[in-house]
Amino acid sequence: MKFPETIDTEALLEDVLSEPGTGLVEMMKRLDGDIMILGIGGKMGITLGRQAANAIKAAGVCKRVIGVSRFSDAAGKNKLEQWGIETISCDLLDQAAVKALPEVKNVIFMAGRKFGTEGSAELTWAMNTIVPGYVGDHFRQSRIVVFSTGCVYPLVSAGTCGCTEQVPPAPVGEYSQSSLGRERVFGHCAKAYGTATLLLRLNYAIDLRYGVLHDIGQQVWNGQPVNNNVGHFNVLWQGDANCYALRTLELCASPAAVLNITGPEIVPVEYIAEAFGRLMNKTISYTGISADKCYLNNAGKAFRLLGYPQVPLEQMIIWQAQWLMLGGSSLGKPTHFEVNNGKF
Ligand SMILES: NC(=O)c1ccc[n+]([C@@H]2O[C@H](COP(=O)([O-])OP(=O)(O)OC[C@H]3O[C@@H](n4cnc5c(N)ncnc54)[C@H](OP(=O)(O)O)[C@@H]3O)[C@@H](O)[C@H]2O)c1
């Protein structure tokens, strides 16, 4: 796809995020069976589902995409149905409802809980460990890609180049611990039932309505001090994240495979803030003390297996600055990327 110079409407943003990435159309020609996306109703799932549907159409194959969620946001459900994605309303905490879901060859598991963990950790543990047990049991004959997070790794300094898959998990705080719990439950199912599984450790998707660039850019645009508590991070265009997630259906294995996905750069907060300052003609000030230890993910293995992302960081910075200056919408869901004590 030739990317637009400016993304100035939600419709165009969703088109770009849903454009099949490199290799996806060819994969759809090879992949057997239908695709079910569990937890499709969130920030990423809507365009992941649509990217899958677009790739299937471009491949000229016949394959159902089925989106499962509670659909707290009815607008998301309507959009999916308009784009040809079947929907099933289901609370995955209800085991009988999970057992009633149709069995499919391919499952992408996106449901989870992060924010609100402080003060209500029980629900986070239930969502992130009990639901995987229900899903892993019911879909034992499927291949399953499980969205996880780079937060299962220890916090490290930028000089390490980020954590590769070889770094043993050392999660800080209950969200990260329960995320490792999710991996362990799916890992158990992969071993016990032979289910082909892949654990996808993602660090920070960028969709102009939310994300680390949105959060920093909003502070710059509003003339607020930029929070520099966590000095470095890595990010990945959400369209690229969606494409990697779908393509990893072909990399599922038993015992479960593990793959990091993020962008190739370790990005200093100050670099991004200053870039926004130049584009927005704003002066930058900072708050917080830049800590040496950050959540940093090294996705070298994914680049070797699947290639580099299509949207470079510098393009994301420009699109994000334009979006904010044009008054583009915000989901009002801060990433809290500045948190480095595991309390979400
Ligand atoms: N976005 C990122 O940058 C990022 C980074 C690292 C990891 N991840 C992980 O990747 C996954 C997808 O990310 P996301 O940003 O799209 O997450 P999200 O916005 O939290 O979406 C997950 C969706 O799962 C659905 N869900 C939650 N509880 C459910 C339940 N009991 N039954 C059925 N559905 C339920 C919810 O939609 P309904 O209200 O419709 O049920 C929710 O919106 C998540 O697990 C997230 O933690 C994301």
Residue of 85, 122, 200, 202 to mutate, ligand 1, most atoms within 8 A of C-beta: 202
Residue nearest atom 47 of ligand 1, based on CA coordinates: 112
Q: Please identify, by atom number, the ligand 1 atom nearest to the C-alpha of residue 111.
A: 24
> Which residue CA neighbors atom 13 of ligand 1 most closely?
44
Which tops the pLDDT comparison, 247 or 341?
Answer: 247
Alpha-helical runs (H) found in 222-312: 238-247, 269-280, 300-306
Nearest of 111, 114, 153, 115 to residue 136 by alpha carbon:
111
CA distance 152 to 168: 9
* Pairwise pLDDT comparison (293 vs 280), residue with the higher score: 280
Gyration radius of the chain's alpha carbons: 19
Question: Ligand 1 pocket test: which of 37, 110, 199 has the largest number of ligand atoms within 8 Å of its C-beta?
Answer: 110
The finding on whether 125 has its CB within 6 A of some atom of ligand 1 is no
Contacts of 240 (CB under 8 A, 6+ apart): 21, 309, 310, 311
CATH topology of domain 10-206+235-264+296-310: Rossmann fold (3.40.50)
Residue 291 pLDDT more than 90?
no
Question: Beta strands of 193-310 (E only): which ranges?
Answer: 196-202, 205-206, 226-227, 232-233, 236-237, 257-261, 267-268, 286-287
- Report pLDDT for 337: 80
- For residue 339, what pLDDT is reported? 77
* Ligand 1 midpoint to CA 146 (Å): 11
The minimum-distance atom of ligand 1 relative to the CA of 211 is: 3
Ligand 1 pocket check for 88: Cβ under 6 Å: no
Predicted local confidence at residue 160, as pLDDT = 94
- Helix axis angle, 74-82 to 45-59, nearest 10°: 0
In whole angstroms, how far apart are CA 97 and each of 1, 66, 78, 121?
39, 15, 22, 23
Q: What is the position in ligand 1's atom list of the atom closest to the CA of 72?
A: 39
pTM above 0.95, yes or no: yes
Report the nearest atom of ligand 1 relative to the CA of 114: 47
Indicate the top mutation candidate among 40, 43, 185 to test ligand 1's pocket, ranked by most ligand atoms within 8 A of CB: 43
305-339 pLDDT, tens digit per residue, is 999 999 999 999 999 999 999 999 999 988 888 77
Residue 36's CB is within 10 A of a number of other CB atoms, namely: 26
| Whole-number pLDDT of residue 238 | 98
- The full set of domain ranges for the chain reads 10-206+235-264+296-310
**What sections of 90-139 are H helices per DSSP?**
95-99, 121-125, 131-138
Which residue, by CA, sits nearest to atom 25 of ligand 1? Answer: 39
Determine which residue's CA is closest to atom 27 belonging to ligand 1. Answer: 111
- At 39 the pLDDT is 98
pLDDT > 80? residue 242: yes
pLDDT at 186: 98
User: What's residue 17's pLDDT?
Assistant: 98
> Is the CB of 334 within 6 Å of ligand 1?
no
pLDDT digit string, tens, across residues 109-147? 999 988 777 778 999 999 999 999 999 999 999 999 999
Specify the higher pLDDT residue, 251 or 113: 251
CB atoms closer than 10 angstroms to residue 115? 13
Q: What mean pLDDT do residues 209-220 have?
A: 97
